[in-house]
Amino acid sequence: MLTSGQDHGRDKPYTKSYATRLIKSISRNGSVRLTRHSGQRMQERDISMQDILCAFGNGKVIDEPELDIRSNRWKYNITGNGIDIRNIRVTTDINEKENYILIITVFREGEG
């Protein structure tokens, strides 16, 4: 597991490059969890967990993190390619301490 030495609280988000590395690492060595909303969106948009894991492996966090006002946690959008789908965007919450990624929502770029 990567260790940033940062507190993932409200005050200081991860950098985009560190968040990208952390998502790649946790998706391989930790766990990936779904919200009810993200599970529904995956089904509606015909995006599988394998597509998401593939996008985590080849994708990048390009946007600046956003603070989720409900959870008071930082959200990170990673964009990558699925198995047969190009440009999947996955909104995540990274829990480095407990070694999991929570998928908040997922969509194909351009469908937003």
Domains of the chain, by residue range, sit at: 16-108
DSSP SS3 for 53: helix
Of 38, 47, 43, 112, residue with least CA distance to 82? 47
CB 51 within 8 A of CB 85: yes
Fold for domain 16-108?
A: YaeB-like fold (3.30.2310)
Tokens 């529904």, residue located: 40
pLDDT score at 5:
45
What distance lies between CA 100 and its chain's CA centroid?
10
pTM of the model: 0.87
pLDDT digits 0-9 by tens, 33-75? 999 999 999 999 999 999 999 999 999 999 999 999 988 999 9
Percent of the chain exceeding pLDDT 70 equals: 89
**Quick one: pLDDT band at residue 107, thresholds 50, 70, 90?**
very high
